Structure 1
């Protein structure tokens, strides 16, 4: 029997929680057995702590020899405990990675992270670049890849008419500390595009080229899918418009930002840095543009014809349908189960 361990989540609309909740839903619909308590939302820290603890204890007790247990990582302090107890009961572990604590947040050293993941029998990495990084740093588990995160939503993106200048949409953290590039990017747009920014914390008065920027504020994901004011979705992080640098920007070379999946569900082609791990997926599927630098954004968009844009939109629609159906996780976990 393939099992999973449900957890408490604080906020269903936060990207990390949304991805984990979606995967739980896909597993439930695929016939996997939840050995923990039911999926729940608790904002109270104490209630959440005891709920998760009880779910872990119940889950361990409900496992049987020959089961396969799917864990979503990070699982905080319980991960190693659950892996050890599951193995003691004759259970195989599949781990799907959402975030690596040794990168941008530096909560773990690389060796600590790898030692944790080595308690799993099979690890599903985000992509080939993350898989290679894990191998190079000593991960002994069997390894596979997700390709891209699925994104469940019953909301349908409407068909929009497109007119130049293109609107480039960015959703996420807008503070100067996290994404200083947003405060310089306005200098490099004008004739061929302008920005639509969604999120909290944007300081409009400190932005260069603010006449080319529309700050839309925070919008829930389903509302964004229904009403996104954009023609492309931008995947970029860090301090510089010329490259994704710093702890946040460099992480793009290994991870799959969940906002990429959100853009695709909005039926928006994606603009991404060429060195980003997901750039291969974007290029291979013909669903966007890979850039060396945002300094070239306006020039590159000026060359995009109506036919080229419509071809990208058609390709995006195909991938969006897959994301809505849980295609990528189901494909990855099926391969993992077969390997065990």
Structure 2
């Protein structure tokens, strides 16, 4: 069966989410999937979705059409997915990046938005979920199509994998600093070097070193620490609030930035990606950031060396697109088995 990929061009540039989509498209191109391209201009996108894409989908009578979810403004996304479902003869496969009902649309005031999001997900003939926890939520919401789990994003990294650094207990953090409220409570012995956009004029504690904002392509060469930190929310003792709780379902792209660069990670023990870190032994899982000084002090150089060696193996897998290619091939196999059964 032929595989098609709908390539949607998002606007923002210096964000991990956009790079995750671009890298995924690049890995599919390596597999010779046929690209269905779309324009970049706002008006051109609308015209293309309503006047051109329906005829393209009508011409596709079999195979699989892969779409990264979400893509585009809600009304455009709805039109695209419905066109694939009802005009083409192909299976609609969705790769989930975010589910807003879990991320920010939490509460009864978002009932309408969450219902619409679920209706779109239910159009799919198959889904690539981020992990088993997200899959469980999808099943609880009556999505019964074949699902495979990605677990962690791959990463096309333009910089060489960092050589092993002398262990000094150094840690860095990359992300949206405006929503990383925990940073303003970070007052530990080990300095945390942070990268990212910072629009709010607030001073960091003395143990925070702000290093600026860089694109996902520039950032890997700047990560000169022993570990990369994965944490979110407004507390040091746990990952709290909507963004912190979302780590139970999400696969933060910073995980892939760190690992593909050769940095072992430190992550909240209850985060979904913690199971990946524990399986590949490429980092540390912790319950609270208040334990960080003790954990870093107790870690020996020889134990860090083993974490680094394991991380390099994962970095090579990510740079080759191993996780995405495995997930999508498994999903297509499940769908073909279901259709032939």
- Aligned residue for 2:69? 73
Is it true that 1:329 corresponds to 2:324 in the alignment?
yes
Matches within 5 A, 1:51-62: 56-57=53-54, 59-62=56-59
Deviation, 1:158, is 3.0
- Aligned residue for 1:279? 274
Deviation, 1:260, is 0.5
Is it true that 1:338 corresponds to 2:296 in the alignment?
no
- Aligned residue for 1:35? 36
Distance 1:285 1:303 in 2: 21
Is it true that 1:91 corresponds to 2:90 in the alignment?
yes
Is it true that 1:170 corresponds to 2:168 in the alignment?
no
Pick which of 237-246 and 220-229 moved more.
Answer: 220-229
Taking a change above 3 Å as real, the CA distance of residues 55 and 290 of structure 1, as seen in their structure-2 partners, is farther
- Aligned residue for 1:200? 197
Q: Which runs of 5+ in 2 are unaligned?
A: 336-341
Distance 2:292 2:199 in 1: 21
Contact 2:46/2:76 (8 A) holds in 1? no
Deviation, 1:240, is 0.5
Q: Normalising by the residue count of structure 2, what TM-score does the alignment of the two structures yield?
A: 0.89
Contact 1:60/1:82 (8 A) holds in 2? no
Q: Normalising by the residue count of structure 1, what TM-score does the alignment of the two structures yield?
A: 0.89
Distance 1:274 1:241 in 2: 13
Contact 1:224/1:266 (8 A) holds in 2? no
Q: Which runs of 5+ in 1 are unaligned?
A: none
Equivalent residue of 2:181, what SS? coil
Q: What is the alpha-carbon root mean square deviation over aligned residues?
A: 2.1
Distance 2:30 2:118 in 1: 31
Equivalent residue of 2:18, what SS? helix
Equivalent residue of 2:102, what SS? coil
| Stretches of 4+ aligned residues off by more than 6 angstroms | none
- Aligned residue for 1:21? 22
